[in-house]
Amino acid sequence: MGKIKIEGPYNFDRVLQRLSIDPIIALDLSERFVKVPLYIEETPIVIKVKAIGTTDQPEFELTSESIFTEKEIAKIKGIFQWDKSLSPINEHFANTELAAIFQEHSGTPLVLEFDLYHCLMKCIIHQQVNMKFAHTLTERFVHAFGFQHDGVWFYPKPADVAKLDYEDITALKMSRRKAEYIIDTSKLIAAGELPLYELPEKMDEEILKQLIKIRGIGPWTIQNLLLFGLGRPNLFPLADIGIQNALKKLKGLDEKPTILQMQQWSKDWEPYLSYASLYLWRSIEPQHEELVK
């Protein structure tokens, strides 16, 4: 067991609310914990992250049925961005038109997907489908080819997905093209042709140039990987329907904003565009009252 204190504000209840939209993730809103699937070398372990502090004085308790080390603790810290203070970000947006959203969702951090491969598969599966169906497809994928450990679902590994036939994926009601993207990308990773876990050491532009060459990986997928896989702070996916809808609501528009309008408005939000994206998404996602009904 380990206890960790971090700088506030940090609202873990809002973290759990957002994570609860994904049916794969094991958590409890009332008990304030989430179970995180990780690996120690090739051995799966589950670490339970429980909030025992407040938004202003955040503190967390880490427990597991397995023995874990400082390496796994560092991984947890990275996932939940415990070393990134939200204070300068809140100050930055206090004088922008997003001020009310940032005040309403104060203390909401940019939480990463639990694994970079999971993030990439999720991004591919979520391409060009609505959010509810996207989560349904991801759940089918993980249940069909992943496994459970300590009651928590683990995504399949790239080598396992690489061995699948396209028909295995289309049987989950995904398109043939998406099946090809999922399996062919997994083959590249399994063969070492796409060194996915070296990406954290590279700059955004370098990652973009490397990944854009891969069939099925376009700008939207790369931006979301940079944002939720690597936690890069200045990403604003202009083609994202959720962000477009959030801005339409914020501005009181009859139609979705144009790319040119979004580019113009977002200038004031740099260098924290990723947080602008996150808080705009939060403004149209299910809120706590809806989730606990």
CATH of the domain at 157: 1.10.340.30
Confidence (pLDDT) at 287: 63
Run of H or E residues at 288:
helix 288-291
Residue 86 CB burial class (10 angstroms; 0-12, 13-18, ≥19): buried
Shared domain for 47 and 140, answered yes or no, is: no
Confidence (pLDDT) at 239: 87
How many Å apart are CA 200 and CA 184, to the nearest integer? 22
Shared domain for 221 and 120, answered yes or no, is: yes
Shared domain for 79 and 138, answered yes or no, is: no
- Whether 103 maps to a domain, the answer reads no
Confidence (pLDDT) at 274: 97
Whole-prediction pTM value? 0.92
Chain-centre distance for alpha carbon 8: 21
φ, ψ of residue 9 to 5 degrees: the values are -80, 145
How many Å apart are CA 51 and CA 286, to the nearest integer? 21
- Whether 21 maps to a domain, the answer reads yes
φ, ψ of residue 48 to 5 degrees: the values are -90, 125
Nearest to 293 by CA among 20, 11, 51, 35: 20
Reading the block at residue 220, the tokens are 């939207």
Domains in the chain: how many in total? 2
Confidence (pLDDT) at 2: 83
- Whether 203 maps to a domain, the answer reads yes
Among 27, 60, 83, identify where a domain stops.
Answer: 83
The string of pLDDT tens digits covering residues 236-264 is: 999 888 999 999 999 999 999 999 999 99
Reading the block at residue 19, the tokens are 């994570």
Amino acid at 71: K
How many Å apart are CA 173 and CA 170, to the nearest integer? 5
Residue 153 CB burial class (10 angstroms; 0-12, 13-18, ≥19): middle
Tokens 């339409």 locate to 248
The secondary structure of residue 228, as a DSSP letter, is I
**Residue 10 contacts residue 49 (beta carbons within 8 Å):** no
Instruction: Report the CATH number that the domain containing residue 41 is assigned in CATH.
Output: 3.30.310.220
How many Å apart are CA 273 and CA 258, to the nearest integer? 17
Give every CB contact of residue 173 below 8 A, 6+ residues apart in sequence. Answer: 137, 140
- Domain of 46, in residue numbers: 2-83
Q: Check if 240 is active-site.
A: yes
Count Cα neighbours of 259 within 13 Å in the Cβ-side half-sphere. Answer: 4
Chain-centre distance for alpha carbon 119: 7
**Residue 102 contacts residue 90 (beta carbons within 8 Å):** yes
Among 213, 229, 245, identify where a domain stops.
Answer: 229
Reading the block at residue 254, the tokens are 């009859």
- Whether 107 maps to a domain, the answer reads no
What are the residue ranges in the chain where pLDDT is below 50? 288-293
Helix (H, G, I), strand (E, B) or coil at 171: coil
Rg (CA), the chain: 19
Shared domain for 125 and 65, answered yes or no, is: no
How many Å apart are CA 67 and CA 141, to the nearest integer? 29
**Residue 22 contacts residue 138 (beta carbons within 8 Å):** yes
Catalytic residue among 150, 165, 240, 254: 240
Among 83, 102, 130, identify where a domain stops.
Answer: 83
